[in-house]
Amino acid sequence: MSKFKKKGKKGAPGITTASLPDIVFMLLFFFMVVTKMRDSEMKVKIQVPAATELQKLEKKSLVSHVYIGSPIPKYAAVMGSAPRIQLNDQFADPSQIPFFIANEIEKLSNPKLRRAMTCAMRVDKEVKMGIVTEVKTELRKVNFRKVSYLASDAGELE
């Protein structure tokens, strides 16, 4: 009889998961810090009018936003106080709207999605309808007819 037994080969020890929650939380905080929540910087002041009959937009990825309002104080010195149009992150003239819509449509590859695209206009309640009519005319020129106006719920204001 021998005093020492030869044991068979042992497998590799299991991987410890003690640090896994730390790694998950580090990734969570990293993405919370670097994620950009808003698509565009607001360069115009907008106080939307109140409405009673509202509908939610179904797919927000199929919505292109057009902002119309007076420039914020940071840009008022350069742009003046007259209502301006903002497309994405820049001021624009009504004549630039067809190029904006063409670029937004070009981003979508599926033709069905292109037909479902909507232009959401966020217009300050103090803006005269002349500039809104110009925007709608430019949208009609490129046969873009799905337009919605963004408003706040009248019940929220009471």
Q: Is the pLDDT of residue 1 over 70?
A: no
Q: How many residues does the chain have?
A: 158
Domain spans of the chain, in order of start: 44-157
Helix then strand then coil, in percent of the chain rounded to 5, is 40, 20, 40
Q: What number of CA atoms fall less than 13 Å from residue 66's CA on the CB side?
A: 29
* Per-residue pLDDT band at 38 (split at 50, 70, 90): low
User: How far is the C-alpha of 36 from the C-alpha of 98, rounded, in Å?
Assistant: 27
Per-residue tokens: 118: 């909507």
Q: Which residue has the tokens 């919505």?
A: 63
CATH class in words for 44-157: alpha beta
* Prediction pTM value: 0.71
Query: At how many degrees (to 10) do helices 129-141 and 97-106 cross?
Result: 50
Of the listed ranges 75-79, 111-115, 139-143, the one predicted with least confidence: 111-115
